[in-house]
Amino acid sequence: MASKFGLAGGIPERRVRPIWDAVDSRQYKSALKLCTALLAKHPTSPYALALKALTLERMGKPDEALSVCLEAKELLYSNNIFHFDDLTLSTLQIVFQRLERLDLATSCYEYACTKYPNNLELMMGLFNCYVREYSYVKQQQTALRMYKTVGEERFLLWAVCSIQLQAYFSSGGEKLLAFAEALLKKHISSHSLHEPEALSLYVSILEQQAKYDAALEVLSGDLGSLMGREEDKLRLQVESRLASALLFVQKLQKNDSSDSVRGPHLANIEIERQHRLSGNSTKFMEALVNYFHRFGHLSCSSSDVEIYLHMLSGDEITELLDTISRSFDASSVSVKALGLTITTFKVQELLGTLLSKSTTDLQRIAKGMVETFYKNLPLSRDLDPQESMHGEELLSMASNILVQLFWRTRNLGYLLEAVLVLEFGLTVRKHVWQYKITLVHLYSYLGALPLAHRWYVSLEVKNILLESVSHHILPQMLSSPFLQQTASLVKDYLRFMDDHLKESADLTCLAYRHRTYSKVIEFVQFKNRLQRSMQYLAVKSDSVILSLKQKSESLEEVESVLENVNHGEGLVDLSSEDNMKHLTFNEDLEARPWWTPTTSVNFLSEPIDESSTPACFRAEVCKHKSTEKDGPKMRDAERKCLVPQLVYLSMHGCVSSLRETEPNGSVSDITVGEMKTLLEKYARTIGYSMDDALSMILGISSGKKSMKDFAPDIVSWMSFAVFINAMNLWSNESVIPRTDPSSPSSWEIVDSLVKICIEEHLTDANRILTCPGNKIPLLVQMVTEPISWHLIIIQSCMRVVAPQGKKKKKSGPSLRPNMPQLQGIQRSVQCLIETLR
């Protein structure tokens, strides 16, 4: 190619290097001047145009960049083949990718490969295009073409890896695994394999077909030498009797005397557990005791054996705790004694024995934990500020006990003490993330969201942690009046997710280039998991809803928000039944405090069940965590996706309802049917059919049914009523049947419902400042969502009847406002004013 002879895209390299340097140093104006000068000398150079397009894109001018790229593409497709090189194509590919037009980059490479069918660089560029498009079949075809051209092992492995991706992510792809195996066998017979990753890929292909014996045979043969670690081979082989395993473990224990190798001792406990399950073990307790004697001072010792602790009877638990307590002097100030003290507390916490303690005992234990922490502070004097302190778990455990005391007594003082304990801990060492997360939840429960938000921000959550950690603060912020801070959280999350999904294909290309084929599969699986994230779907709709809340005072800005998301059509498509079934749940719930195991559950809002056993409580927590995806969270995500389009259709339809001269059916049947379909789907997300939901609204607004029937989806019910009113205004058939002229109109039903719902939640207003877990967030949500949607609809109606500047000459029948509807609007506005006051 031209670049091999000191030319870059057919241009001397010394002329283009300054442009790249200017772009790399973000001096885009200088780069653009250099591009202009270069094009003056080389006006028909696709590479010069590609450089100009790159510069324009970096300057934030995507339309101009695309136009220049298309000009370069046309030149490439001309008969002037001298300029057809990979450097030009790769530069265009960078710009097309940033402009989200991968299809154009691919078409350029496809054309180039037809011109130069045996050019390896161009074929590799085309392969990378297909990788970025996740086009596994075309990846396979291109890789095989390269393998046939040059016979290199890596290209065969690229093809096999592409086949494996088809098996993972395409229907019927499993049948191709035999083809991949045959390709590898043929290559091995003539060339063998030369890389560990190649052997791993071959073994994984066999494993996917459940050919474990064949995989074992491969590992045991000559190719097995490629597998550097013996344990990788043993992963497929070891299955022996317990007696032999025990002898092996005991031998390992004798050969190792350090306090860091815990594996053999944990293996011994597991073997004794197996004996105990078969009814012939008397050494299970002995194995546990020995483990704690040797490793009990380590912070991980209790979590290492948690699964085994739950197998102990009450007497065995007492015996174990007594044995650990007698093994050290709790009054001494040493790292080992402190570690054993913490382990004793942790075992009690894990087993739930603290639940059965009296209030006095719990107070004493919490006080003892804080005093022990304070007494042992000198042990951490010489540690780096970023390192974990010795005994920092004590304050977390003390705060947990204080929260438990609040749950039991409803004495707010305990909750405030829990906050003070953690704030004290962060004064001593400001980087303890466990303290911060607990404070986020405590302040959220107390209604002090600015403080909760401050501590969350101090965590400096970035990258993939935005996906797994945001659940600690985002649900509370979304129902708060702090719209600007919430918008910032949502923006950061979506920026990471969108950027990662755009750039993840680059990581896959890199993995192919470096021949780490296991990472190819891993990167693609990770990308698919993130793309199907339930939180990603929910936050995308939350982002639009948040913008609508912020702009609800201006109808023009609301319309702009809806126009930018295609009136919510994309979100409705994402909430399809098939898509919802395949959503992934990526939130790390293990870091949440015990009293709020999921985003939709808070035990502190419920009375304590004194008769509940520790085992029952653990089972309830596990149940909540396992049903989080299929519970209210799934329905909430689906319902939120419908709101933007419901708002748009409500605005669109209400306008014509106020014009008496419009013929019947002026709002198309398609629009009416679309609105009805969305409302039926909306009703299902709150657990009702359309007719039953209408009946419920009528019952509540007339006082025949209790507000308790709306719980816990009061805001969703109010929004449903608002959208029903909008549809009722412009539907040919009344959605809400009126039995006689005295029956309330849909406007009056919404007015009544809004008034009842808000007054119901203001009845305990005197307790708002003294009772945590108050209803302020719910009241805020009522105003910022259903009432905002109602006001948007009212504004849409008023825009029709309000004067619009100078009168135009009459060219047909005048548009007179629909007076009955106008009276309904006036009454509704007055009702909203009085209710909000």
Q: Is the pLDDT of residue 612 over 80?
A: no
Calculate the alpha carbon distances from 295 to 349, 388, 798 in Å.
Answer: 18, 19, 74
Give the Cβ contact number of residue 430 at 10 Å: 11
Beta carbons of 364 and 385 less than 8 angstroms apart: no
Three-state SS annotation for 734-782: CCCCCCCCCCCCHHHHHHHHHHHHHHHCCCCHHHCCCCCCCCHHHHHHH
Amino acid at 69: C
Task: Give the alpha-carbon dihedral of 487, 490, 493, 499, to 10 degrees.
Answer: -80
Angle at alpha carbon of residue 554, lines to 548 and 560, rounded to 5°: 60
pLDDT of residue 813: 46
Give the residue, 801 or 100, on which the prediction is more confident: 100
d(CA 173, CA 167): 4
Give the residue, 563 or 315, on which the prediction is more confident: 563
Burial class (CB in 10 A: 0-12, 13-18, 19+), 69: buried
Which DSSP string corresponds to 458-482? HT---TTHHHHHGGGTHHHHHTSS-
- pLDDT tens sequence across 439-481: 999 999 998 999 999 999 999 999 999 999 999 999 999 989 9
Q: Name the phi and psi angles at 101, rounded to 5.
A: -125, 60
Q: With cut-offs at 50, 70 and 90, classify the pLDDT of residue 577.
A: confident
Q: Name the phi and psi angles at 659, rounded to 5.
A: -110, 105
705 closest CA partner among 762, 740, 757: 757
Beta carbons of 305 and 339 less than 8 angstroms apart: no
Q: With cut-offs at 50, 70 and 90, classify the pLDDT of residue 36.
A: very high
For 600, the enclosing helix (H) or strand (E) is none
pLDDT of residue 445: 92
Q: Is the pLDDT of residue 371 over 80?
A: yes
Give the Cβ contact number of residue 424 at 10 Å: 14
Q: Is the pLDDT of residue 572 over 90?
A: yes
pLDDT of residue 679: 93
201 closest CA partner among 146, 149, 162, 144: 162
For 720, the enclosing helix (H) or strand (E) is helix 714-730
Burial class (CB in 10 A: 0-12, 13-18, 19+), 463: exposed
For 797, the enclosing helix (H) or strand (E) is helix 788-801
636 closest CA partner among 539, 528, 750: 539
Calculate the alpha carbon distances from 28 to 23, 40, 56, 246, 487 in Å.
Answer: 6, 18, 8, 68, 31
d(CA 105, CA 127): 12
Peptide bond into 712 cis (omega under 30): yes
DSSP, collapsed to helix, strand or coil, labels residue 598 as strand
Q: Is the pLDDT of residue 197 over 90?
A: no
Amino acid at 37: A
d(CA 723, CA 785): 12
Q: Is the pLDDT of residue 773 over 70?
A: no
Q: With cut-offs at 50, 70 and 90, classify the pLDDT of residue 227.
A: low
Give the residue, 375 or 326, on which the prediction is more confident: 375
Q: With cut-offs at 50, 70 and 90, classify the pLDDT of residue 9.
A: low
Residues contacting residue 804 through CB under 8 Å, at least 6 positions apart:
none
379 closest CA partner among 370, 391, 369: 391
Q: Is the pLDDT of residue 417 over 90?
A: yes
d(CA 636, CA 642): 10
Q: What would the mean pLDDT of 522-531 be, rounded to a whole number?
A: 92
DSSP, collapsed to helix, strand or coil, labels residue 333 as coil
Residue in this structure with the two tokens 């093809």, named with its chain if needed: 159
Percent of residues, the chain, with pLDDT higher than 90: 41
What the block records as the tokens of 260 is 């860091």
Tell me the domains of the chain and their CATH numbers. 7-235 (1.25.40.1040)
d(CA 478, CA 465): 19
pLDDT of residue 812: 47
Percent of residues, the chain, with pLDDT higher than 70: 86
What the block records as the tokens of 477 is 């912020």
Beta carbons of 492 and 460 less than 8 angstroms apart: no
Calculate the alpha carbon distances from 152 to 60, 143, 186, 213, 510 in Å.
Answer: 42, 10, 14, 29, 18
Task: Give the alpha-carbon dihedral of 85, 86, 91, 93, to 10 degrees.
Answer: 120
DSSP, collapsed to helix, strand or coil, labels residue 601 as strand
Residue in this structure with the two tokens 């710009």, named with its chain if needed: 95
Give the Cβ contact number of residue 269 at 10 Å: 21
Q: Is the pLDDT of residue 311 over 90?
A: no
- The rounded mean pLDDT for the chain is 84
Segment of 12-16, 139-143, 671-675, 702-706 carrying the highest mean pLDDT: 139-143
Residue in this structure with the two tokens 């990662």, named with its chain if needed: 500
Q: With cut-offs at 50, 70 and 90, classify the pLDDT of residue 819.
A: low
Q: With cut-offs at 50, 70 and 90, classify the pLDDT of residue 403.
A: very high
pLDDT of residue 331: 81
- Which segment of 12-16, 392-396, 635-639, 740-744 scores lowest on mean pLDDT? 740-744
Q: How far is CA 274 from the centre of its chain?
A: 39
pLDDT of residue 232: 55
d(CA 119, CA 112): 9
- Which segment of 540-544, 584-588, 831-835 scores lowest on mean pLDDT? 831-835
pTM: 0.82
Q: With cut-offs at 50, 70 and 90, classify the pLDDT of residue 665.
A: very low
d(CA 492, CA 464): 11
DSSP, collapsed to helix, strand or coil, labels residue 85 as coil
pLDDT of residue 661: 43
Beta bridge partners of 12: 7
State the Rg of the chain over Cα: 34
DSSP, collapsed to helix, strand or coil, labels residue 213 as helix
Write down how long the chain is.
Answer: 837
